[in-house]
Amino acid sequence: MDCIFCKIVKGEIPSKKVLENEKFLAFYDINPIAPIHVLIIPKEHYEKFNDTPNELFSEMAAFIKEVAKALNITDYRLITNNGSNAGQEIFHLHIHLVSNPSGKLKWPKLT
């Protein structure tokens, strides 16, 4: 059974896309925590950060920079959770890009 992000990649579930290429997809989070909240995922399924090949991240970093440029932002935070105890809820690697163009992002208390 495919995870929800794999279904988004296949077009089975709609998303509001920001940017896409052959390896990655960026789309708006449906439950944003900031004025701009985009999820960036590899199209290939990897459960979490630790399962992802190292070489994928140089390409992903370049894609993230393209996403920020498409959003016309220079100040942003990148977040990824690795495992359920770290807060990962969907087990398909994803990076949250969050930004507040009109002010400073706050850092939530982590407990």
Q: Which residue has the tokens 């929800």?
A: 4
83 found inside a domain: yes
Residue tagged 């449906």 (tokens): 30
Which pLDDT score, from 0 to 100, does residue 104 have? 85
Number of structural domains (the chain) is: 1
CB atoms within 10 A of CB 18: 19
Residue at 53 is within a domain? yes
Residue 107, domain member (yes or no): no
- Cross-strand partners of 26: 19, 40
pLDDT tens per residue, range 14-33: 999 999 999 999 999 999 99
pLDDT digits (tens, 9 = 90+) for 28-74: 999 999 999 999 999 999 999 999 999 999 999 999 999 999 999 99
Number of H helices, E strands in the chain: 2, 5
Write down the catalytic residue from 45, 92, 94, 96. 94
Q: Are 98 and 37 in contact (CB under 8 A)?
A: yes
Look up residue 11 and give its DSSP letter. Answer: T
What pLDDT sits at residue 4? Answer: 96
Which CATH number is 47's domain given?
3.30.428.10
Is 94 among the catalytic positions? yes
Report residue 111's pLDDT band, with 50, 70 and 90 as the boundaries: very low
Quickly state the pLDDT bin for 107 (edges 50, 70, 90): confident
Q: Name the 3-class secondary structure at 53.
A: coil
Domain assignment present for residue 104? The answer is no
Question: How confident is the prediction for the chain on average, in pLDDT?
Answer: 93
Query: Looking at residue 92, what is its pLDDT?
Result: 97
Query: 53 is in which domain, residue-wise?
Result: 4-99
Q: Is residue 80 a part of any domain in this protein? A: yes
Does 20 reside within a domain?
A: yes
φ, ψ at 87 (rounded to 5°): 105, 5
Strand 24-28 to 36-42 pairing = antiparallel
Task: Give domain status of residue 108, yes or no.
Answer: no
